Structure 1
Amino acid sequence: MKKVLLSAGLCMLVTLSFAQKKAVKDAKGALNSKSYSEARELIKPALTDPETQNDPETWKIAGDIENKQFEAENMKQMLQQQPDEKTMYTALYATVDPYVKADELGQLPDEKGKIKNKYRKDIVAILKANHPHFINGGVYYNNLKEYSKAADFFQKYWEIPSLAVFSDEKEKINTNDSTFQTIKYYSVICAIQASQSNDALKEKETLRAIELLNKLISEPYVPNSTYKEHEAYELLASEYESVGDTVKFIETLESGAAKFPDNKYFVPNLINQYIKRGERDKALAYLDKAIADSPSSACDMYSVKAALYAEKQDFATADATYSEALTKDAKCERALEGLAVSYILQAQNLKEQAGNTTVAKDRAELDDKAKELYTKAVPLLEGYKESLLARKADESELKAMYVKLQNVYYNLDINDKYEEASKELEKYKY
């Protein structure tokens, strides 16, 4: 009885094996007769059956089915007929994985240890011919606002030249032109757009954008008209910030600041992060380095540095630092305002001391010193006012400026100018 059962089992295995090999043959026949949907269905079982799934021919035929479907629709386009674009680009995208699998299996040595990959030459030719069409596929889905699919196509365009099938230097796809660089960037932008426009894809696409940006930065930059090298670092920092990865955010800011010392994004954000973390000494040290590396940013950097000293009530150092900023740029708004505010705060401190002093002489001396500081603040604030008005600053900036001017004029008894500042403030009450 056991022998009978065993024989029956063997017969079943042989039948199944024959069925899958026949499926491969039938799929090939359907492909040759241009019945692509039928061929696709016929090949499916063979892709997972143990008897056929490790045969490179099975995967090569699966790739050919998709490629012939793509070519058929693309030919309509070439003949100025209307193709089914969705079918065309779906088939194009589906060519890559089966061709890669066919090539991998074809590279396995035979029983004699020899590699006889009879499929690679054909696969190389097809992938090279199809490579530019992945740009069109990305554009197609981008126009439909299907940004995740657009990113798929642009990313695949980026990845294809690195496939093992192109290990022969003679067959390499050129990746040193500006077009290739541009499409790499498009894959990143579409992933970011997908994360921002579809809540269901937000996490997945943000992680993809981070992965692609790291890959972009790791590869040689080729100058192009689409983006500058520093923009990749800015985007990566922004994506890390969006997912709350402070460590990676700061690391990226540090890398960007070191590579692009004149950039206005990295250093200010980096210093802000140090300040948020309570690392003021580190922020001050970095500011000194930033000033040395990028003299053109002296206005902002000196002003931030001075503000840090002012927060520590080290007004002498703060004032000297603001003054240094103004020697570099006499119209530096942050320094004009910052130094004026420093004088005002010191004057207010002196007036408080005077109010608590019972000796008239001492009180008068404190009042005089306060008056000197208020007086020193006047030209700074008036210069700041001129700068704001010249660039048509927004209402909040103008209002804050007039409040400071009003304070100074009041404490100096400059009544006409106090009234003038008060009238200007009236404009912003409603």
Structure 2
Amino acid sequence: MKRILFITMIAIFSMGTVFAQKSALRDAKRALGKDDLGEARTLIKQAATNPETANDPETWKVMGDIGNKAFDAERVKAALGQGHNEKAMHDGLLESYLPYLKADSLSELPDEKGKVKNKVRKDVSSILRSNHPFYINGGVFYNSQKDYAKAADFFEIYWNIPTLPLYEGQKESFVLDSTYQSIKYYAIVSAITAEQHERALRMLERVASEPFIENPAFKETDVYELMAEEYKTLGDSVKFVQTLYKGAEKFPSSSYFLLNLINVFIKEGKPENALQYLDQAIANDPSNACDLNSVKGALLAEKKDYTNAEVEYKKALAHDPNCERALENLARNYMIQAQELKETTATLSRQQQVENDKKTIDYYQQALPLLENLDKILKGRSAAQQEINAILLLLRNAYYNLSVLGVDKSDQLKAIEDQLDLE
């Protein structure tokens, strides 16, 4: 008899616990109906953390309704021109999103008979559809507050909503236009600004996999450029180079991918690969001859192909006579050849030495006007003294060697040494 009484008491206690939790859910709904959102939040948190009600779709539907009511209350005030709390408005909107999704997800689980009876989807899908545009406002607000991570949350939700299972087969529910595409970019940039680089990469991979819509915020090439930069930021050199290859293949007219690949090849000591992409870069952007042709000339010079290097430097100077890189590199090109001739002179016959000296003098004299012009350009733009001194040393070298070879440049040599403060 005592045992039966004990079991009965346990059963009654268990039923009381379940009832208490169901009561918390019911009381939360009652508080929500009275617009007592503070009390409603406290009660629904109890229901959400208790095993008896944590998996009840109604619990999460009510939690979403609480956030949505906070949003609606402030939105109505704003529409009427009354004093409203903008932060509370946006926070309510954000507060509603995940609980609504969980309510719908739980409602999609089959019951003990294997049937799905989703009683919340109609209401949830209607609310999220109506609230969809306001997530843009939330992102803009938190961007203005410099809370970029939260701004990214709002923009990403705006991006996510049309893709939710709730709207499968309902393409007409949303207008996926240039604004929609632009918000994807704002979500990515906000995440990058918040230094959430892994998150930004996930977004970038996602946007690259989706159809691109022309918009005023960004171009399709920007997606891959940002992706490459994010991999670089994270120190993933393999993915960085892979993205460069992908971008160069997909956007052959973009200089970003080509120039970065060229730099990678140069650093890796692969001049032939660099030259291959340089030709494509030059063809794409002939207006950038000063940089591109100068780099090509330098790569050829490294291979001791001085003749073709000279051709590239002269192409750069034909486009921009004041191209500093081409002026310096072409002068060096002549001086290197002069130095190599000097080093062979001792092994030659007297007649050959005379011919060698003539060629050597010619190389130094061709270098002089380039260096003198560059010296003027650097001083004209008030370049750093270290930069100017580097050119003065080259000039000193040329004047000295010409003087040794019988071309009197003693006055010019002294003037250079005075500038360098050499005794």
How far did residue 28 of structure 1 move?
0.7
Q: Is the 8 A contact 1:261 1:294 kept in 2?
A: no
Shift of 1:263: 3.2
Asked if structure 1 preserves the Cα contact closer than 8 Å seen for 2:107 and 2:116, the reply is yes
Q: 1:161 to 1:167 in 2, by over 3 A?
A: same
Offset at residue 327 of structure 1 (A): 6.5
Contact 2:294 2:312 in 1 (8 A): yes
Aligned to 2:235: 244
Q: Which residue pairs with 1:66 in the alignment?
A: 67
Show the counterpart of 1:220: 211
Distance across 2 between alignment mates of 1:171 and 1:36:
34
Equivalent-residue separation in structure 2 for 1:311 and 1:8 (angstroms): 93
Provide the C-alpha distance between the structure 1 equivalents of 2:328 and 2:3, rounded to a whole number of angstroms.
Answer: 98
Task: State the distance in 2 between where 1:93 and 1:107 align.
Answer: 23
How far apart in 2 are the matches of 1:231 and 1:389? Answer: 38
Per the alignment, residue 53 of structure 2 pairs with 52
Distance 1:52 1:403, change over 3 A: same
1:227–1:382 Cα change, 3 Å = farther
Residue of structure 2 equivalent to 1:202: none
Identity %: 47
2:183 maps to: 183
Letter of the aligned partner of 1:122 in structure 2?
D
Residues 125 and 417 of structure 1: is their aligned pair in 2 closer, same or farther, counting only changes over 3 Å? farther
1:414 Cα deviation after fit: 4.6
Q: CA RMSD in A?
A: 3.1
Offset at residue 402 of structure 1 (A): 4.6
- In terms of mean alpha carbon deviation, does 140-149 or 37-46 score higher? 140-149
> Structure 1 pair 158/422, CA: closer, same or farther in 2 (3 Å)?
farther
After superposing the two structures, state which structure 1 stretch, 292-301 or 131-140, moved more: 292-301
For the structure 1 residues 170 and 364, does the alpha-carbon distance in structure 2 shift closer, same or farther, using more than 3 Å as the test? closer
The residue type paired with residue 241 of structure 1 is K
Alignment of 1:115-130 (within 5 A): 115-130=116-131
Q: Distance in 2 between matches of 1:419 and 1:182?
A: 63
Return the letter of the residue paired with 1:229: E
SS of equivalent to 1:265? helix
> Which residue is equivalent to 2:405?
none
Aligned to 1:201: none
The one-letter code matched in structure 1 to 2:398 is: V
TM-score normalised by length of structure 2:
0.85
Alignment partner of 1:349 is 2:340: yes
**Conserved? CA contact 2:44–2:63, under 8 Å:** yes
TM-score normalized by the length of structure 1: 0.84
Q: How does 1:327-406 map to 2 (within 5 A)?
A: 333-354=324-345, 356-357=346-347, 359-381=349-371, 392=381, 394-395=383-384, 398-406=388-396
Q: How many residue pairs get matched?
A: 415
Q: 1:319 aligns with which of 304, 310, 315?
A: 310
The residue number in structure 1 matching 2:202 is 211
Q: CA deviation at 1:97?
A: 0.7
Distance 1:421-1:135 versus aligned 2 partners, 3 A rule: farther
Name the SS for the 1:313 alignment partner. coil
Q: Which runs of 5+ in 2 are unaligned?
A: 403-407
**1:72-91 equivalences in 2 (<5 Å):** 72-91=73-92
* Deviation per residue, 1:180-234 (Å, 9 max, x gap): 2222222222222222xxxxxxxxx122222222223333333333333333322
Deviations 1:334-374 (A, max 9, x none): 434322211111112222333x4585434333221211212
Name the residue aligned to 1:152: 153
CA contact 2:64–2:96 (8 Å) conserved in 1: yes
| Cα pair 2:27 2:43 within 8 Å, conserved | yes
Aligned residues of 2:228 and 2:243 also touching (Cα < 8 A):
yes
Distance 1:419 1:136, change over 3 A: farther
Letter in 2 for 1:189: V
